[in-house]
Amino acid sequence: MTSEFMAKDQHLLLLESSSHFPLPHGMTFSYGTAGFRAVGSKLPSTVFRAGIVAVLRSLKTGSAVGLMITASHNPILDNGVKIADPDGSMMTQHWEPFAEALANAPNPQSLVELVFHFTKEEGISLGGGGTCAEILLGRDTRPTGEALLEAAKQGIKSIVGAAALDMGILTTPQLHWMVMNKNKGMKASESVYFMQLSESFRCLMDMVPKGTRKDCVDSRVVVDGANGVGGEKLEQLKKLLIGIDIQVRNSGKQGEGVLNEGVGADFVQKEKVAPSGFGTKDVGERCATFDGDADRLVYFRISSSNCNGIDLVDGDKILSLFALFIKEQLHILNKQGDEGTNNVLVTRLGIVQTAYANGASTDFLKQQGLEVVLTPTGVKYLHKKAAECDVGIYFEANGHGTILFSEEYLSKLQKKCDDLACHSPGSEHHKAALRLLAVSKLINQAVGDAISGLLLVEVVLQHMGWSMQDWIDLYNDLPSRQLKVKVADRTAITTTHAETQVLEPSGLQEAIDSEIAKYHKGRCFVRPSGTEDIIRVYAEASSQEAANALAKSVSRHVDHFLG
């Protein structure tokens, strides 16, 4: 069959398949950090078209890619879809405009024209000319997930030679991890994921220094599963774990509760209250909470002085805990001694935050001698910057983050570990190398993962001999306030320096600076929303009253300049 005939067959297949998934009337879809999201019943056409995008991405890269159906921390009636690149990270930004254009194509003919035009520009061959595309599919527990999974399969099948691998009900991080592993030529099943986490956790627990486990470091942690997929998966994994007592609540069992309703990391972190099912009986317990698809993690403790309040330990403090542990291991690894391998393994350890990180956390990290870099808001920016380091740690305050080890660095670390095993097995140097290698296997390097993050937090607290109070006392967060200002055109504001400084309109940054100068430890920045015509205002100061006043005064300036 000639390429002309193959292209014609592909054209007809796309036309016929897409006619079964018409665009919902009056809706426009945009692809961002969260992929596409909307009410689940409105998404079949979008997910069908995302299936096409995933196939083209696979053909372009010559590797498997992932497609995850989830709406994370959104209400249960919402759903969404996001695409994972071959390395397990989010789809490259370069393809987002095409994904949006395809999702909003008004009719089948327009869709086909877009596909053929884009594939020509990208040098992608259609028509089954020997190159196969492979898409790993996953979904969470939302009621619309099954129907949307079928829409995704139909989108994938609409491209000749594409194959869909249904990996089942998964957390979002599991799907990203599977894509990453598959493209490294490794096994990519859920059982392997569980085994890797449990074995690396056991390795780290076995190397907790003797005498550091204080009586106050309880092995028990109570986890809110947000009535989502993460609770169910943690129940399975905990059977393989030794040395930790995990109690799961809001695990998503039928009749137990509603996904993300009064539960979950997003709810706890924003409202600063305990999730449903937690109360005065839990005073003193170390508690953690996932979001609906288990890619965010925050900790909390029920306040003994106020049963309605909590002591929140957010992503900033999780990052700080990890950074101190990694820094300690690097120091031990490169400390001079008589172990016979005194060659220093030069390591660039980088800490990556956004401007939304509490200023107290950034100051604390810098005081520890750590390199801290700010990026624009969004995991895709954080992940990219962290990947530039030998070891890069990033977290958002909302609890999404991870630790990245470069492949080159891991190779050098493994070599040094092997040398130490020959010359000084069991030495502190050797143990530090083993710990770092175990961390690289425990933490999910593809994307933020609440389950792997939870296990690393627990083993680091044991290693440090820290109670929950010790962790809380690392530093005191500065009071903050966030406000929204509705504007006619959010693009009227442009920013620089990781969104901390306004370029346009002229004069606005000077007005903001004059307000900041009025407050002790004042800090404030404004940035346009990525999806709606509002300007977000973030302010910090030494007291809550001052932070509130700073946010309000800057909001008035934004309104004046853009009104």
pLDDT in tens, 378-403: 898 999 999 999 999 999 999 999 99
E strand residue ranges, 28-145: 36-39, 65-69, 78-84, 133-139
Q: Residues 445-474: what's their mean pLDDT? A: 96
What is the per-residue pLDDT for 252? 86
Omega before 24 cis (within 30°)?
no
- Whether residues 333 and 467 share a domain: the answer is yes
H helices of 255-370, in order, are 265-271, 315-333, 359-367
Asked whether residue 291 is marked as a ligand-binding residue, the answer is yes
Active site residue 320: no
What is the per-residue pLDDT for 381? 93
- Whether residues 52 and 175 share a domain: the answer is yes
- Whether residues 421 and 290 share a domain: the answer is no
Q: Give the alpha-carbon dihedral of 431, 432, 434, 440, to 10 degrees.
A: 160
Contacts of 122 (CB under 8 A, 6+ apart): 56, 60
Task: Give the number of residues written for the chain.
Answer: 563
Query: Chain-wide mean pLDDT for the chain?
Result: 93
Gap between the Cα atoms of 5 and 10, Å rounded: 9
Give yes or no for residue 340 having a pLDDT over 50.
no
Q: What is the CATH number of the domain that holds 236?
A: 3.40.120.10
- Whether residues 19 and 133 share a domain: the answer is yes
Structure tokens given for 216: 């106050």
The alpha-carbon radius of gyration of the chain (Å, integer) is 25
Asked whether residue 397 is marked as a ligand-binding residue, the answer is yes
Q: Does residue 294 lie in a domain region?
A: yes
Angle, helix 450-464 to helix 229-237, in steps of 10 degrees: 50
Asked whether residue 529 is marked as a ligand-binding residue, the answer is yes
Gap between the Cα atoms of 96 and 82, Å rounded: 11
Angle, helix 450-464 to helix 172-183, in steps of 10 degrees: 90
CA distances for 328 relative to 314, 429, 457, angstroms: 22, 11, 15
Name the amino acid, one letter, at 44.
Answer: P
Give yes or no for residue 342 having a pLDDT over 80.
no
Q: What are phi and psi of 208, to 5 degrees?
A: -60, 125
Q: Does residue 443 lie in a domain region?
A: yes
Query: Confidence class of residue 533 from pLDDT cuts 50, 70 and 90?
Result: confident
pLDDT in tens, 318-329: 999 999 999 999
Q: What's the structural domain count of the chain?
A: 4
Q: Smallest Cα–Cα separation from 554: which of 528, 498, 515, 506?
A: 515
Q: Does residue 36 lie in a domain region?
A: yes
Gap between the Cα atoms of 196 and 451, Å rounded: 12
Asked whether residue 396 is marked as a ligand-binding residue, the answer is yes
- Whether residues 463 and 354 share a domain: the answer is yes
Task: Please state the pTM of the whole predicted model.
Answer: 0.94
- Whether residues 298 and 320 share a domain: the answer is no
Asked whether residue 293 is marked as a ligand-binding residue, the answer is yes
Last residue of a domain, one of 274, 298, 313: 313
The least confident of 247-256, 452-461, 462-471 is: 247-256
Q: Does residue 209 lie in a domain region?
A: no
Give yes or no for residue 8 having a pLDDT over 90.
no
Gap between the Cα atoms of 533 and 253, Å rounded: 39
Which domain covers residue 406, as residue numbers?
316-472
- Whether residues 466 and 500 share a domain: the answer is no
Phi/psi region, residue 118 (left: phi>0; alpha: psi -120 to 50; beta: rest), is: alpha
Contacts of 174 (CB under 8 A, 6+ apart): 138, 167, 190, 193, 233, 449
Gap between the Cα atoms of 71 and 59, Å rounded: 26
Is 134:163 a contact under the CB 8 Å cutoff? Answer: yes
Gap between the Cα atoms of 79 and 71, Å rounded: 4
Gap between the Cα atoms of 455 and 201, Å rounded: 7
Give yes or no for residue 335 having a pLDDT over 90.
no
Asked whether residue 295 is marked as a ligand-binding residue, the answer is yes
pLDDT in tens, 396-435: 999 999 999 999 999 999 999 999 999 999 999 999 999 9
- Whether residues 300 and 427 share a domain: the answer is no
- Whether residues 154 and 178 share a domain: the answer is yes
Is 139:70 a contact under the CB 8 Å cutoff? Answer: yes
Give yes or no for residue 59 having a pLDDT over 70.
yes
Query: Confidence class of residue 339 from pLDDT cuts 50, 70 and 90?
Result: very low
Is 256:267 a contact under the CB 8 Å cutoff? Answer: no
Listing DSSP states for 364-404 in one string gives: HHHHTT-EEEEE-SSHHHHHHHHTTSSEEEEE-TTS-EEEE
H and E: helices and strands count for the chain: 18, 19
- Whether residues 7 and 23 share a domain: the answer is yes
Q: Does residue 288 lie in a domain region?
A: yes
Paired sense of beta strands 78-84 and 133-139, if any: unpaired
Query: Confidence class of residue 168 from pLDDT cuts 50, 70 and 90?
Result: very high
- Whether residues 240 and 334 share a domain: the answer is no
Angle, helix 315-333 to helix 359-367, in steps of 10 degrees: 10
Q: Residues 263-292: what's their mean pLDDT? A: 94
Asked whether residue 530 is marked as a ligand-binding residue, the answer is yes
Q: Does residue 204 lie in a domain region?
A: no
CA distances for 81 relative to 15, 39, 485, 550, angstroms: 22, 12, 29, 38
DSSP 144: T
Last residue of a domain, one of 440, 472, 504: 472
Give yes or no for residue 306 having a pLDDT over 90.
no
Asked whether residue 536 is marked as a ligand-binding residue, the answer is yes
What is the per-residue pLDDT for 532? 79
How wide is the angle at C-alpha 556 spanned by C-alphas 552 and 561, nearest 5°?
Answer: 150
Gap between the Cα atoms of 179 and 172, Å rounded: 11
- Whether residues 456 and 497 share a domain: the answer is no
Asked whether residue 531 is marked as a ligand-binding residue, the answer is yes
- Burial string for 487-518 (b: 16+ CB within 10 Å, else e) reads beebebbebeebbbebeeeeebbebbeebbee
Is 379:90 a contact under the CB 8 Å cutoff? Answer: yes
Last residue of a domain, one of 313, 330, 345: 313
Give yes or no for residue 75 having a pLDDT over 80.
yes
Gap between the Cα atoms of 393 and 375, Å rounded: 13
Q: Does residue 275 lie in a domain region?
A: yes
- Catalytic-role residue among 72, 200, 251, 276: 72
Q: Residues 529-551: what's their mean pLDDT? A: 93
Q: Residues 88-116: what's their mean pLDDT? A: 96
Q: What is the CATH number of the domain that holds 499?
A: 3.30.310.50
Q: Does residue 382 lie in a domain region?
A: yes
